[in-house]
């Protein structure tokens, strides 16, 4: 069943087209990511699902029911806010029990459910504290528990990991993923971090300027970007100019080529070109080497086991023809 | 070495030396800045308050009219005789009603200003709220006397709307009625609300301004309808502002002696009683005892507000 359906949905703020004719169908139980830079319309899409914004055009359905004109408090959808939005005057337990309280669930029952939800996000016994006494990561878990305790049909997450440090973020990514699997709730996740979207989502919608540039599985979006924007934004792919692509014998198109698809030296069945090393940076597991070839700047990932060529050296690079993807249009 | 190229430039002159000293020992500067106001507050203000308290424990000799400087609670006992206790009760009830009504009227205005007004509208809001404070309090009160008088514009409006019967019905009510609005408790109530309104609106607006908008959204997201969001989120978070505003309206009404004198029935309020006792009657101890009443009531009020958790969101 379709959990969330967008048909030609627009949300304009005066002359600004925050969301522009978006079509979208999110399946029940799916982990769906909306990826894009700030101002691309992904958060507005999330707010349209939550009911904080009303579309200026188009049609939205949530589990087959028309969502336009339905206020947030009558939607079986819950949000984990970017800065958590915990109520500062309530204890952690009261925060988590809030949704049940306003629905009229009895005190003993709702506090028990809140306690269980806190245990689920690994914060048992934190109920008596205030939001101000918790760390960012803990607050994030409380926000998650507060949303999940209501057993929503769809959980919306607005950059929930943005404020956490790297270690915590990686840990939370795994936990969110396993939580989503065990609960079977549809997750809609907004992020500007392509790594996060690729590692967690079943499907990704890449947003730019209020429109969906590409919608597909992480592999599709990563390996076969449809537009230059997607190639550039997802995994910092090399976008090769038409001249260069033509010189390699692929016809006159823009094309994308992943840095890790390029190796130093030649091999059987590989396309090769030569260039001059202009910069290199050590990244740990690999080094990123930038090469200038035929006027194009191309980045290659060189494994740490391979010696990094010196700056200014001329090197031969090669790739498998199937790794190069030509793109329609100049965009 | 040339001064322009030196890394640590030398400060010369007495002023330079002084500011360097202050920078190294910031507490000296703090001490110098705070001493004059603290002296003022401590000696002049608290000192006179203490002198007032002391007076209330003396009594007056009924025959000679002279103050008897023996420590006694007689003056306080006098507050409890019916004619005096009525004054206290009347003032406290009026102050409480004025505070409740002010809060109810001020909240929507403050809410609009904090959450919706932007740019030009915010300026208009501030002007609208502050402008009445720029004109003299007496002018405003006398203006209200004209508005509320039997021949005033309010009576005229009621007549034009064919609602004279409503006004007459209201004025014929016991206690709150009277022969016209300007000589009834209703009139006193209206003018108190008008005159203290800015002191209620501004603290509530400041409190609401600090409530992040996403808390309202979070409440709605979790299923709270607007009434529940108000009760469980907005009101508790605005409560420190409402309490701050109510301290103004409550204590100002408790102490005011001009409004009830110009507008209202001739029955006294605490402020008028103090004025009469220390002036014409020359009974300084009783005037002092009357003055202590609002202080004690405000103390009790703040203590209760704190116990109810009104300041938890601060």
**Has residue A307 got a pLDDT over 60?**
yes
For the domain that residue A188 is a member of, what is the CATH number? 3.40.50.300
pTM of the complete model: 0.80
* Of the candidate ranges A8-17, A198-207, B275-284, the one whose mean pLDDT is the lowest: B275-284
- State which residue of chain B sits closest to A85, comparing Cα positions: B215
Q: Over range B72-81, report the average pLDDT.
A: 88
Which of A212, A231, A250 finishes a domain? A231
> What average pLDDT score do residues B216-233 get?
94
Whether residue A88 and residue B237 make contact (CB cut-off 8 A), yes or no, is: yes
The 3-state DSSP class for residue A47 equals helix
φ, ψ of residue A317 to 5 degrees: the values are -125, 155
Residues A223 and A240 in one domain: no
Per-residue pLDDT tens over the stretch A241-262: 888 888 888 888 888 888 888 8
Containing A303, the helix (H) or strand (E) segment is strand A296-303
Give me the pLDDT at residue A117, please: 93
Q: Please classify residue A155 by burial: count the beta carbons closer than 10 Å to its beta carbon, then call 0-12 exposed, 13-18 middle and 19+ buried.
A: buried
Best mutation site among A51, A73, A95 for testing chain B: the one with the most B CBs within 10 Å? Answer: A73
* Per-residue pLDDT at A143: 94
Is the pLDDT score of B65 beyond 80? no
Q: Determine, for residues A150 and B218 on separate chains, whether the beta-carbon distance falls below 8 Å.
A: no
Q: Is B230 on the interface with A (CB under 8 A)?
A: no
- Which among A231, A260, A282 is the end of a domain? A231
Using an 8 Å Cβ cutoff, are A64 and A155 in contact?
no
ipTM of the assembly? Answer: 0.82
The residue with tokens 């007004």 is B117
Range of the domain at A79: 2-231
Residues A267 and A166 in one domain: no
Exposure string for A205-227, b = 16+ CB within 10 A, e = fewer = bbbbebbbbbbbebeebbbebbb
- Is B215 close to A85, i.e. CB distance below 8 A? yes
Average pLDDT over residues A146-175: 88
Whole-angstrom CA distances from A73 to A5, A110, A160 are: 19, 18, 21
- Do A96 and A185 share a domain, yes or no? yes
A98, B224: Cβ pair inside 8 Å? yes
Site of tokens 């009834």: B184
CATH number for the domain spanning A273: value is 2.40.50.100
Residue of A37, A64, A20 lying closest to A154 (CA atoms): A64
Residue A73 has pLDDT above 50, yes or no: yes
pLDDT-derived band at B159, boundaries 50, 70, 90 = very high
Tokens standing for B107? 């909240």
* A-B C-beta contacts closer than 8 Å: 65
* One domain, residues A182 and A312: no
- Confidence band, pLDDT 50/70/90 cuts, at residue B1: very low
A275 in the same domain as A252: yes
Provide the mean pLDDT of chain B: 89
- With pLDDT > 90 as the criterion, what percentage of chain B qualifies? 50
Residue A129, classed as helix, strand or coil, is coil
**CA distance linking residue A170 with residue A214, whole number of Å:** 25
**Same domain for A209 and A242?**
no
| H or E segment to which residue B170 belongs | helix B164-171
Minimum Cα–Cα distance from B226: chain A residue: A73
What is the mean predicted confidence (pLDDT) over A59-79?
Answer: 93
Q: What is the pLDDT of residue A1?
A: 85
- Per-residue pLDDT tens digits for A129-154: 999 999 888 999 999 999 999 999 99
- Give yes or no: residues A222 and A253 share one domain: no
> A35 and A182: one domain?
yes
In whole angstroms, what is the distance from residue B114 CA to residue B135 CA? 25
Token pair in block for residue A258:
């992943």
Average pLDDT rounded to a whole number, residues B213-241: 93
User: Could you report the per-residue pLDDT of B47-61, keeping only the tens digit for each?
Assistant: 988 988 898 898 888
What average pLDDT score do residues B151-179 get? 90
Asked whether residue A77 falls in the same domain as residue A135, the answer is yes
Task: Give strand pairing partners of B67.
Answer: B60
* Listed residue (B291, B258, B295) closest to B144, CA to CA: B258
Closest partner residue to A71 among B218, B220, B237, by Cβ? Answer: B220
Rounded to 5°, angle at Cα A150 from A144 and A152: 85
DSSP reduced 3-state for A80 = strand
Domain at B78-307, CATH homologous superfamily:
MetI-like (1.10.3720.10)
Please report the pLDDT score of residue A96 as a whole number: 95
* pLDDT number for residue A329: 56
Name the pLDDT band for A328 (thresholds 50, 70, 90): low
Cβ contacts of B228 on chain A, cutoff 8 Å: 102
Q: What confidence tier does B190 reach under pLDDT thresholds 50, 70, 90? A: very high
A130 near A92, Cβ under 8 Å?
yes
Asked which of A231, A261, A296 is the last residue of a domain, the reply is A231
Instruction: List chain B domain ranges.
Output: 14-56, 78-307
- pLDDT tens sequence across A86-97: 999 999 999 999
* Residue A282 · residue A237 · CB < 8 Å: no
Q: Is A33 a residue whose pLDDT tops 90?
A: yes
- pLDDT of A330 over the 50 cut: no
Residues A296 and A176 reside in one and the same domain: no
Total domains in the fold of chain A: 2
Tell me the Cα Rg of chain A. 23
Q: Are residue A68 and residue A149 in the same domain, yes or no?
A: yes
End-to-end CA distance of chain A: 34
Neighbouring residues of A292: CB distance < 8 A, sequence distance ≥ 6:
A275, A276, A278, A298
Across the range B270-280, mean pLDDT stands at: 87
Enumerate chain A positions whose Cβ falls within 8 A of a Cβ in B.
50-52, 71-73, 77-79, 81, 83, 85-89, 98-99, 101-103, 146-147, 150
- Do residues A197 and A253 share a domain? no
Confidence of residue A168 (pLDDT cuts 50, 70, 90): confident
């Amino acid at each position: 069943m379709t959990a969330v359906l967008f048909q030609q949905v627009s949300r304009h703020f005066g002359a600004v087209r925050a969301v522009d004719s978006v079509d979208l169908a999110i399946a029940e139980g799916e982990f769906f990511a909306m990826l894009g830079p700030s101002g691309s319309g992904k958060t507005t899409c999330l707010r349209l699902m939550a009911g904080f914004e009303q579309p200026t055009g188009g049609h939205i359905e949530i589990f087959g029911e028309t969502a336009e004109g339905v206020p947030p408090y009558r939607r079986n959808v819950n949000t984990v806010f970017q800065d958590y939005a915990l109520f500062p005057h309530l204890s952690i337990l009261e925060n988590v029990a809030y949704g049940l309280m306003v629905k009229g669930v009895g005190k003993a029952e709702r506090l028990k459910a809140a306690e269980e939800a806190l245990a689920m996000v690994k914060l048992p016994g934190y109920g008596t504290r205030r939001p101000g006494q918790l760390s960012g990561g803990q607050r994030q878990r409380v926000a998650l528990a507060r949303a999940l305790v209501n057993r929503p049909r769809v959980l919306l997450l607005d950059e929930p990991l943005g404020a956490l440090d790297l270690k915590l973020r990686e840990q939370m990514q795994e936990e969110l993923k396993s939580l989503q699997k065990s609960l079977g709730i549809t997750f809609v996740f907004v992020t500007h971090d392509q790594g996060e979207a690729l590692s967690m989502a079943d499907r990704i919608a890449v947003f730019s300027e209020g429109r969906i540039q590409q919608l597909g599985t992480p592999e599709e979006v990563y390996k076969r970007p449809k537009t230059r924007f997607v190639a550039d934004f997802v995994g910092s792919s090399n976008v090769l100019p038409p001249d260069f692509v033509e010189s390699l014998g692929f016809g006159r198109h823009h094309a994308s080529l992943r840095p890790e698809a390029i190796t130093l030296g030649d091999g059987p069945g590989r396309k090769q070109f030569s260039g001059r090393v202009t910069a290199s940076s050590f990244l740990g597991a690999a080094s990123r080497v930038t090469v200038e070839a035929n006027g194009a700047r191309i980045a290659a990932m060189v494994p740490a086991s391979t010696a990094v060529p010196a700056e200014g050296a001329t090197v031969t690079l090669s790739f498998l023809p199937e790794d190069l993807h030509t793109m329609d249009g100049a965009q | 070495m040339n001064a322009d190229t030196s890394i640590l430039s030398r400060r010369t002159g007495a002023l330079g030396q002084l500011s360097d000293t202050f920078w190294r020992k910031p507490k000296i500067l703090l001490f110098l800045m705070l001493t004059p106001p603290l002296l003022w507050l401590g000696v002049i203000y608290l000192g006179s308050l203490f002198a007032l308290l002391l007076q209330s424990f003396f009594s007056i000799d009924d025959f000679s009219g002279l103050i008897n400087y023996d420590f006694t609670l007689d003056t306080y006992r006098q507050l409890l005789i019916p004619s005096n206790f009525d004054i206290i009760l009347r003032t406290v009830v009026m102050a409480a009603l004025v505070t409740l009504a002010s809060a109810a009227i001020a909240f929507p205005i403050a809410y609009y200003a904090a959450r919706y007004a932007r740019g030009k509208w915010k300026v208009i809001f501030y002007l609208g709220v502050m402008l009445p404070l720029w004109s003299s309090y007496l002018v405003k009160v006398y203006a209200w006397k004209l508005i509320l008088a039997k021949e005033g514009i309010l009576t005229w409006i009621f007549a034009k709307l064919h609602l004279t019967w409503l006004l007459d019905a209201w004025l014929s009510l016991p206690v709150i009625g009277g022969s016209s609005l300007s000589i009834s408790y209703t009139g006193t109530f209206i003018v108190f609300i008008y005159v203290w309104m800015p002191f209620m609106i501004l603290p509530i607006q400041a409190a609401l301004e600090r409530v992040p908008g996403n808390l309202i959204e979070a409440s709605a997201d979790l299923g709270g309808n607007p009434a529940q969001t108000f009760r469980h989120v907005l009101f508790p978070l605005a409560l420190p502002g409402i309490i701050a505003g109510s301290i103004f309206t409550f204590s100002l009404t408790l102490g005011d002696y001009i409004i009830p004198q110009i507008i209202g029935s001739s029955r006294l309020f605490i402020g008028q009683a103090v004025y009469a006792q220390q002036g014409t009657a020359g009974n300084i101890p009783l005037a002092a005892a009357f003055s202590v009443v609002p202080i004690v009531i405000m103390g009790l009020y703040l203590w209760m507000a704190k116990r109810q958790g009104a300041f938890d969101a601060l």
